[in-house]
């Protein structure tokens, strides 16, 4: 009972500390549990700046409201507001596992930081901001028809895995496989996650002893990956965008003797990320390749034996009961047959008597001809006087 209470307490604690859970309760609660800061932002000088209380600022605020409403429903928004020269164009994208009120709440705070509070890019007409779970861009130029992924941003884990070729090849295989699924098969268009196993024998020394120890103590290292495109791209366009940034991974993540344990490339049109720790919500569409066998897992033979046992065990008592009943019936039948034979024998004994041979010989006067009556099936027939 105490264990159940402890598990329940831990589950509630995890739920309450989750940003996604917190956001479900209201529009601005997505960041209530922790302060969410942007990973990177770009304030384009070429786009110029706008004046406070200008028409451009009013149009920007109106556009922000439109993007929030659309993103809440679909996790993606693309819209414009106003007319040239003060028209504003924008897109907003939330990660595939971060939708609804959580998505809208995170974007709302981001727009407020950019427009109201001037936390970053105050007064700039062309701004791009990347967060862990969402991003947006707005500009006075209509960039939405372009497939360019700029302005992009790259970051990586400071720790590396020795044996760069083996680890890097596995990462690239996972990214490419996940990208194919995101572009062509995902129910969340343009979004997919994946996992790939990577055994301990391929993991060598790392830059930091702590990570080295962690890797060596975990014989079944798993790589986690996430890729995403804006849903307005065609499947071919999405795959092309992801292939483009994936081709840059060796440049950013591969060293002379090691490969980064994690990294991400963020762009306006598509992005990717991989880590050796899970950072997304797994779904039934999560791609899995080269996954290690679960510890304590069962072979097909084990499963077959358990299945047979599961079927036979309930039947065994029935078989035993049937055997006992049969034995009882057989004993009863034999007893009844014995009684029947005894009865028949007694009846026969009452009708027929047995006589010694000497008595029969005397009664027939030593089988004399005078007492012979004839010949039957069993021999001579004699008259007997007893």
pLDDT in tens, 3-43: 444 444 444 343 333 333 233 333 333 333 346 799 999 99
Q: Which residue has the higher pLDDT, 226 or 307?
A: 226
Estimate to the nearest angstrom the gap between the alpha carbon of 147 and the chain centroid: 33
pLDDT digits (tens, 9 = 90+) for 212-223: 434 443 457 899
Which of 17-26, 41-50, 60-69, 307-316 bottoms out in mean pLDDT, i.e. has the lowest? 17-26
The CATH 3.30.430.20 portion of the chain extends over 19-139, 153-289
Res 209: pLDDT:
38
Architecture of domain 19-139: 2-Layer Sandwich (3.30)
Res 232: pLDDT:
96
pTM, whole model, 2 decimals?
Answer: 0.66
Residue given tokens 């727009």 in the structure block: 111
- CA–CA gap between residue 240 and residue 234 (Å, rounded): 10
Phi/psi for 151 (5° steps) reads -80, 130
HEC sequence for 144-212: CCCCCCCCCEEEECCCEEECHHHHHHHHHHHHHHHHHHHHHCCCCCCEEEEEEEEEHHHCCCECCHHHH
Are residues 52 and 45 in contact, defined by beta-carbon separation less than 8 angstroms? no
- CA–CA gap between residue 73 and residue 66 (Å, rounded): 11
pLDDT digits (tens, 9 = 90+) for 228-279: 999 999 999 999 999 999 999 999 999 888 899 999 999 999 999 999 999 9
Helices vs. strands in the chain: H and E counts, helices first: 10, 15
Q: State both tokens at 369.
A: 């001809």
Mean pLDDT of 175-197: 97
C-alpha angle 156-161-165 in degrees, rounded to nearest 5: 100
Res 314: pLDDT:
62
The pLDDT-based confidence of 334 (bands split at 50, 70, 90) is: low
Res 168: pLDDT:
94
The pLDDT-based confidence of 328 (bands split at 50, 70, 90) is: low
**Matching CATH number, 153-289, of 3.30.430.20, 3.40.228.10, 3.30.420.40, 3.40.720.10:** 3.30.430.20
């Amino acid at each position: 009972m105490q264990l159940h209470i402890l598990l329940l307490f831990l589950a509630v604690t995890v739920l309450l500390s989750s940003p996604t859970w917190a956001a479900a309760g209201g529009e601005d609660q997505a960041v209530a549990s922790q302060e969410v800061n942007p990973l990177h932002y770009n304030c384009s000088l070429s786009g110029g700046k706008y004046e406070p209380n200008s028409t451009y600022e009013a149009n920007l605020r109106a556009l922000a409201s439109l993007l929030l409403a659309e993103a809440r429903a679909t996790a993606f928004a693309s819209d414009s507001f106003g007319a040239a020269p003060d028209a504003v164009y924008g897109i907003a994208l939330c990660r595939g596992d971060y939708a609804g009120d959580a998505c809208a709440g995170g974007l709302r705070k981001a727009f407020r930081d950019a427009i109201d509070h001037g936390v970053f890019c105050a007064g700039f007409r062309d701004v791009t901001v990347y967060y862990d779970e969402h991003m947006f861009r707005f500009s006075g130029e209509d960039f939405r028809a372009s497939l360019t992924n700029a302005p992009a941003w790259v970051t990586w884990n400071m720790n590396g895995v020795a044996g760069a070729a083996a680890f890097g090849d596995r990462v690239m295989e996972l990214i490419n496989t996940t990208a194919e699924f995101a572009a062509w098969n995902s129910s969340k268009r343009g979004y997919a996650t994946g996992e790939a196993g990577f055994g301990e024998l391929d993991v060598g020394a790392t830059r930091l002893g702590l990570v080295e120890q962690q890797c060596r103590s975990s014989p079944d290292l798993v790589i986690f990956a996430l890729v995403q495109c804006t849903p307005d791209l065609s499947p071919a366009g999405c795959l092309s965008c992801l292939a483009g940034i994936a081709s840059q991974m060796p440049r950013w993540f591969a060293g002379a003797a090691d490969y980064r344990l994690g990294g991400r490339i963020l762009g306006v049109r598509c992005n990717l990320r991989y880590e050796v720790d899970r950072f997304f919500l797994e779904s039934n569409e999560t791609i899995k390749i080269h996954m290690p066998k679960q510890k304590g897992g069962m072979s097909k033979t084990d499963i077959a034996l358990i299945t047979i046992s599961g079927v036979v065990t309930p039947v065994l008592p029935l078989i035993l009961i049937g055997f006992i009943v049969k034995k009882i019936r057989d004993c009863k039948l034999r007893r009844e047959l014995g009684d029947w034979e005894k009865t028949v024998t007694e009846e026969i004994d009452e009708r027929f008597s047995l006589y010694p041979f000497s008595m029969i010989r005397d009664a027939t006067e030593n089988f004399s001809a005078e007492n012979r009556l004839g010949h039957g099936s069993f021999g001579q027939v004699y008259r007997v006087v007893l």
